[in-house]
A and B are shown apart, each in its own frame.
Chain A
Amino acid sequence: MNFALVDWFIVGVYLVLTLAAGFWASRYVKNLSGYLVAGRGVKVALGVATFAATEFGTITFMYFAELGYVSGFACFSIGVLAMLAYFVIGKTGFIVEALRRFEVMTIPEFYEVRFGRKVRLLGGVLLFLAGVLNMGIFLKFDGIFLSEVMGFGQGAIVVIMVIMLIIVVLYTVVGGMFSVVVTDYLQFVVLSFGLLAMTILVLTKVDIPLLSTAVFDQYGEGGFNPILNPRYGWTFLVWVFVTNLAAAALWQPGVSKALASESPEAARKVFFYTSLTFAGRAIVPMFLGVAALAVLGPGESPTAAVPRMLGRIVPSGLLGFIVAGMLAASMSTYSAYLLAWSSVGARDIIGCLRKDEMDPRTTITITRWLAVFIGVFLLVFGLWYHIPDTAYQYLFITGAMYTAGALSCVAAGLYWRKATKEGAYAALLLGAVGPLGFLVLEKFHDSLPTWLNFVTDVNVAGLLSFALGAVGMIAGSLFYQPKVSAK
Chain B
Amino acid sequence: MIEAAYAWMAVFVVAALVFFGVAVVVAWKGLEDLRALLAPTDETKSGKQDVA
Q: Which of A29-37, A311-319, A406-414, A420-428 lies at the binding interface?
A: A29-37
Contacts of A223 in B (CB 8 A): 1
Per the bound structure, the CA–CA distance linking A28 and B19 in Å amounts to 31
In the complex, chain B residues whose CB is within 8 Å of the CB of A38: 37
Scan B2-29; emit 1 where CB is below 8 A from any A CB, else 0: 1011101101101111111011111111
Using C-beta atoms within 8 Å of the partner chain, give the interface range for chain A.
Answer: 35 or more
Complex Cα gap A181–B33 (Å): 11
Interface size of B by Cβ–Cβ distance < 8 Å?
40
Contact of B27 among A188, A212, A282 (CB under 8 A): A188
- CA A29 – CA B26 in complex, angstroms? 24
Residues of A within 8 A of B37 (CB): 28, 38, 41-43, 46, 181
Interface of chain A residues 29 through 66 with chain B (CB within 8 A): 29-32, 34-35, 38, 41-49, 52
* C-alpha gap A44/B14 in the complex (Å): 23
Q: Are B22 and A48 in contact (CB under 8 A)?
A: yes
Q: In the assembly, what is the distance between CA of A76 and CA of B14, in Å? A: 12
Q: Which residues of B contact A283 (CB under 8 A)?
A: 11-12, 15-16
Selecting from A119-127, A271-279, A394-402, the interface stretch reads: A271-279
Whether A276 lies near B27 (C-beta < 8 A) is no
**Is the CB–CB distance between B44 and A80 below 8 Å?**
no
Give the residues from 22 to 52 in chain B that come closer than 8 angstroms, CB to CB, to chain A.
22-34, 36-38, 41, 43-44, 47, 49-52
Q: Which A residues lie within 8 Å of B44 (CB)? A: 27-28
Complex-state Cα separation, A199 to B16, whole angstroms: 9
> Are A73 and B23 within 8 A (Cβ)?
no
Nearest Cβ distance between residue A64 and chain B, in whole angstroms? 12
A243-285 contact mask (Cβ, 8 Å, vs B): 1 or 0: 0000000000000000000000000000001001101111110
A-B contact pairs, 29 of them (CB 8 A): A27-B44, A28-B37, A28-B38, A30-B43, A30-B51, A35-B52, A42-B33, A45-B32, A76-B12, A79-B15, A175-B52, A176-B52, A182-B38, A185-B34, A192-B27, A196-B20, A208-B2, A212-B4, A221-B1, A224-B1, A225-B4, A276-B22, A277-B22, A279-B15, A279-B18, A283-B12, A283-B15, A284-B16, A287-B16
